[in-house]
Amino acid sequence: MCTPLNSAIDWQGNTLWLLDQRALPVDTRWLECTHVDQVNEAIQTMVVRGAPAIGIAAAYGVVLSAIAHRAASTIDPIIDDCARLAQSRPTAVNLQWAIDRMLGVLKKHSAPQPAIDALVHEAEAIHREDIENNLTLAEHGAAFLAQQEPASFAVMTHCNTGALATGGHGTALGIIQTAWSRGVIDHVVVNETRPWMQGARLTAWELQQSGISMALQTEGAAGLTFSSGKTRWLIVGADRIAANGDVANKIGTYTLAIAARHHGMRVMVAAPISTFDLSIPDGSHIPIETRSEDELFYQGGTRIAPDGIRAFNPAFDITPHTLIDALVTEQGVIETPCREKIENHVKV
């Protein structure tokens, strides 16, 4: 079964089209980006979101910067644009990874047009490779689940990790799509994922498009769901994985992992190798993005909280590797991840 949505990112003739994920599932509208500043704003405002997806969008943003500065005497203006892109969201390492890869190509060229052509080629390669990696990762994850469980079973997922969050197919939701198509899983419990509601608005939409059995719940219901034994695995994505296997992911993941372990459920994290940051020894060093208080004060444009109060709105938290049972990448599955296993896995 293929994911009906191919990708939320489309590059056509020096124009980047982004599916505006703020409007889903009610409206399907695309944002036209012809300048890198538009890409920067689209990442900051979560028109495009998801660790791999923002890396891919930024890669095309670098192309737009090179086009805008083709008459410049140095590449400094492009490097300045890349620095601003890298700051658009601090937690997902895929953003800096993609920008670094594009800068490496840029610095190999002196003439503007060959540089632009090479940058387009590299951005398209980053996009294509992400889709290929996700399909391979999903195969590894689905095969591992089939081997671990005697019969089909239900899983829980958090936030959105599908085609909308990546170059296509998805990571954790890619595993779920592939495992469903193989009869390995028979139901998906989707956490709405406050405050931005990626689960309710995006994951439920993607699973509905694929005809996959699911039910939406508040993440507050997760403990009760785990205690009922309805689900056997919590399957989530990642935004940055430290050298020891600690995982930065959407806020609430850490709480879910604790509850899952308490009830004997197992935790699977799915991410491409581009999400690993071996320069960071453990999760305590991963920058956690804090977003606007208004994301908690308003729902659908209506204020739901009193005026004059404060809000705490971290977009991510850190799940220690000790709470993770399987880490799935395009290179395979790391069971009970730790520093040594990750070093051996990533260097392959």
Ligand X SMILES: CSC[C@H]1O[C@H](OP(=O)(O)O)[C@H](O)[C@@H]1O
What is the Cα–Cα distance from 333 to 322, expressed in whole angstroms?
16
Q: Which of 9, 18, 159, 267 binds ligand X (CB under 6 A)?
A: 159
What is the distance between the alpha carbons of residues 281 and 139, in angstroms, rounded to a whole number? 29
Q: How far apart are CA 66 and CA 72, in angstroms?
A: 9
* Unique residue bearing structure tokens 């719940």: 217
Options 122, 130, 206, 239; binder of ligand X; rule CB under 6 A: 239
Counting contacts by CB under 6 A, is residue 55 touching ligand X? Answer: no
Minimum CB separation of residue 275 from ligand X in Å reads 7
The catalytic residue among 81, 130, 239, 325 is: 239
Q: Which of 179, 178, 171 is nearest to 154 (CA)?
A: 179
Q: Determine, following the binding rule CB under 6 A, whether residue 237 of this chain makes contact with ligand X.
A: yes
Cis peptide before 77 (omega within 30 of 0): no
The annotation status of 199 as a binding-site residue, yes or no, is no
Look up 20 and say whether it is catalytic.
no
Spatial CA neighbour of 16 closest among 307, 41, 322: 41
Looking at residues 163 to 222 of the shown chain, list those that interact with ligand X (rule: CB under 6 A).
165-166, 171, 198
DSSP-based three-state secondary structure for 289: coil
Which residues are registered as beta bridge partners of 236? 269
Query: Could you tell me which residues come within 8 angstroms of residue 111 by beta carbon, excluding any fewer than 6 positions away?
Result: none
| Residue nearer to ligand X on the CB measure, 53 or 66 | 53
- Contacts with ligand X, 252-291, as mask; x by CB under 6 A: ----------------------------------------
Q: Which residue is nearest to ligand X (CB)?
A: 237
Q: Which residues are catalytic?
A: 239
Give the residue ranges of the annotated binding site for substrate: 49-51, 89, 198, 249-250
**Which residue ranges make up the site for ligand X (CB under 6 A)?**
49-52, 159, 161, 165-166, 171, 198, 236-237, 239, 249-250, 315
